[in-house]
Amino acid sequence: MASGLLLTSVLTGCATTESPEVSLTAGGSATVTISNMRFNPSILRIRAGDTVTWVFADQGTEHGVVSNANAQEYFESGVQSSGVYSHKFIRVGMSRYFCSEHASMGGTIIVR
């Protein structure tokens, strides 16, 4: 358990115990819920071709999902307070992302 928390801390830049990793099957999809000022789950392991959907569910608080400059793929949701944003990941690698409105919020998509 401790090593899993350390990995999560290293990948997202902050310690957390509430966002488990999620693994998907080929051709799958995953949902990241944005609520309580965090991405949950904060780390996803997916396969190339899978789609990740972020659900903006933070009671009207505005958030924006944006890939980091060194992410394997570029994606950007724009600022939203409700609704969803989806991105299909094609390239193998790691894409870290953050909230454009709240610098303390971050997550990681690992594509195999």
* Distance between CA atoms of residues 86 and 30, nearest Å: 10
Cross-strand partners of 80: 63
Pairing of strands 51-56, 83-88: antiparallel
Written as six digits, the tokens of 94 are 């790691």
Number of domains in the chain: 1
Q: Are 88 and 109 in contact (CB under 8 A)?
A: no
Per-residue pLDDT for the chain (112 aa), expressed as one digit of tens each?
444 433 433 444 443 344 567 766 556 899 999 999 999 999 999 999 999 999 999 999 999 999 999 999 999 999 999 999 999 999 999 999 999 999 999 999 999 9
* Distance between CA atoms of residues 70 and 97, nearest Å: 10
CATH number at residue 69: 2.60.40.420
Domain that holds residue 78: 2-111
pTM as predicted: 0.80
* Residue of 86, 63, 83 whose CA lies nearest to 75: 86
